[in-house]
Structure 1
């Protein structure tokens, strides 16, 4: 018996306009990635909030927050946090943790927020999903418009050069008795991940597609958006970014 009690039908999945609106809203996304290293993520948030020297009770936006695990931790650090995500199912789950200084809402990251934030975090490669490349610029402008006068934003993205160097073309992962068959490849400037599996006698297929944005691409987008890139790090311990060796591309801007 899998952990997904009510899998969506194939027609429901095909009716979605974009891959991320269907895939992220299924229970299978959370099953496949449930073993992510959240302790490492907490160390990163400890380091980055200390580096930014955020004021006590700073207003923080966790943009593309999923089920809110990192929003919850940021709130535990003492910040007033809003977690925002396009997935209604994820926000419904995250909202169970709401308190006076922790809230969640369904939101498209291409749209600015009315409220201004002291820090905006876009963590763990939650950027570059859109079919239209212009939407990446629109998202950066929305982040800029949602920052307070002295606010900082952080985008934590994959280091494309490192990902391509270490790419595993095919693998099988078994999680909660579901066998996920995964293929990865680069095509048309995007990194694709094809995911096939079967559950309760029903076959599923999903595709993840992320724009292979390197640092020069972000620098160009940020210049167009009127954003000032302040610092770049290459891992969650905030070590210097190396073009080929670093696992992450972490950008601090305002």
Structure 2
């Protein structure tokens, strides 16, 4: 069986998440860049770069940016959006990044591009790779969902129509055995029988889990934010866990 993350990140993904706009990405990156406090021309790796929104914004901040993703379709879209052609786009698996040890001043893993894999060892492997490709005292940022918030505020069902693409989108969300998952159905009006269906799954890792892995991998957590506005993390009410730290 083909894993969900090799099926879901295609052309329909770009329609389902069309609402994630570029101006928003610029604002988020400006905030994150301030948290990282990197020098101009620092080498930055965007892990799971998708359509390239954040990588492009990072390059505009003056960094040397590399974006890596497993989806050729999303990478092709990212290249189209890279007007200045300053970014290096690479196809690669985050469990085995195609870069030399100590290649980057900073790594970013954004919008919950973590916790995809069924095997615990695979998710830990992603963190090992982050540690491996960072320079000494390199910075990392992991932007992950807050499991406590998700459990309390999960919206079980939603639907909408995308007029630009002429499709209905249905999303069914649930929490099962430590995972949050979303079943996505995309279809044209009157063609429900020909619907295209996708699954997204993310393991609900706690802050304690991350802190334990950081300790084992010689990564030091230095800042913890609860959202892109820089608010302090609160376990019961913050939407996200945005973890910023250094390699030891």
- Regarding TM over 0.5, the answer is yes
The count of residues paired between Structure 1 and Structure 2 equals: 238
**Closer, same or farther in 2 for the Cα pair 1:244/1:37, shift >3 Å?**
farther
In the other structure, the counterpart of 1:40 is 24
Is residue 117 of structure 2 the alignment partner of residue 130 of structure 1?
A: yes
Distance 1:23 1:111, change over 3 A: same
Query: Secondary structure at the residue paired with 2:50?
Result: coil
How big is the shift at 1:199? 3.8
Whole-Å separation in 1 of the counterparts to 2:19 and 2:158: 16
Distance 1:72 1:197 in 2: 28
Cα distance per residue 1:39-69 (max 9 Å; x no partner)? 3332221122122210110001111001212
Which residue does the alignment assign to 2:235? 243
Following the alignment from structure 2 to structure 1, what is the Cα–Cα distance between the partners of residues 32 and 57? Answer: 13
Displacement of 1:182 in angstroms is 1.2
SS of alignment partner, residue 216 of structure 1: helix
**RMSD over equivalenced CA pairs, Å:** 1.7
Query: With structure 2 as the length reference, what TM-score do the two structures score?
Result: 0.90
Report what 2:153 is aligned to.
Answer: 166
Q: Deviations over 1:142-161 (max 9, x none)?
A: 00011111210000011111
Give 5+ residue unaligned stretches, structure 1. Answer: 1-15
**Matching residue of 2:213:** 221
Q: Is the 8 A contact 2:12 2:186 kept in 1?
A: no
- 1:22 is matched with 7
Matches within 5 A, 1:46-195: 46-96=30-80, 97=82, 101-112=86-97, 113-114=99-100, 116-175=103-162, 176-195=165-184
User: Structure 1 stretches (4+) deviating beyond 6 angstroms?
Assistant: none
Moved more, 27-36 or 191-200: 191-200
Is the 1:57–1:80 Cα contact (8 Å) retained in structure 2?
yes
**Alignment check: 8 A CA contact 1:79 1:101 kept:** no
Q: In structure 1, how many angstroms separate the alpha carbons of the residues matched to 2:106 and 2:52?
A: 16
> Any gaps of 5 or more consecutive residues in structure 2?
none
Q: TM-score, normalised by structure 1?
A: 0.88
